[in-house]
Chains A and B, each alone.
Chain A
Amino acid sequence: MEIPYTVKARPDTGLWNAKIGVWLFLASEVMLFGGLFSGYIFMRLGAEPGTWPHGLLNVPVGTLNTAILILSSVTVVFAWAALKMRNFRRYQLCMGTTIFCALLFLGIKLGYEWPVKFHHFGADIKRESLVKYEEYLGNEHREKEGLTPRLTISGYLIDEHGHTLHQADYERLRAEGAKEIRVKLDAANADPNNPKNDSPRFLPVPMSDKIATIATEDIQYASMYLPRRSSYFATYYTITGLHGIHVIGGIIVFIYFMLPVSARLYRKDPEHLANRVEVAGLFWHFVDLVWIFAFPIFYLL
Chain B
Amino acid sequence: MSHPQESHVPAPSGGSHEAPHDAEHFHCHTRLYVGVGVALLICTGLTVGISYIHFGSEAMNIFMGLLLATFKAALVAAIFMHLKGERKDIFRFMIPTMIFLFALIGLCILAIKDHIHF
Interface residues of A (CB under 8 A from B): 7-8, 13-15, 19-20, 23-24, 26-27, 30-31, 34-35, 37-39, 41-42, 45-46, 59, 63, 66-67, 70-71, 73-74, 77-78, 81, 84-89, 199, 202, 263-264, 266-272, 278, 281-282, 285-286, 288-289, 292-293, 295-297, 300-301
Contacts and interface: CB of A to CB of B under 8 A. Distances in A.
Interface in B9-48: 9-18, 20-21, 23, 26, 29-30, 33-34, 36-37, 40-41, 44-45, 47-48
A94 B71 CA distance: 26
Contact of A85 (B18, B26, B33, B66): B26
A8 B17 CA distance: 11
Given A27-B94, A84-B26, A202-B48, A296 B66 contact: yes
B77 A289 contact: yes
A7 B16 CA distance: 8
Given A14-B89, A66-B44, A81-B33, A73 B3 contact: no
Contacts of B69: 292-293, 295-296
Chain B interface secondary structure, helix, strand, loop or mixed? helix
Contacts of B21: 84-85
Contact of B44 (A24, A63, A266): A63
B34 A31 contact: no
Contacts of B41: 67, 70
A202 B77 CA distance: 29
B76 to A, nearest CB: 5
B112 A42 contact: yes
Given A45-B108, A268-B13, 16 more contacts: A14-B87, A15-B90, A19-B90, A24-B93, A26-B94, A31-B97, A34-B104, A70-B40, A85-B1, A89-B3, A269-B12, A269-B17, A281-B80, A285-B77, A288-B76, A301-B65
Contacts of B109: 41, 45
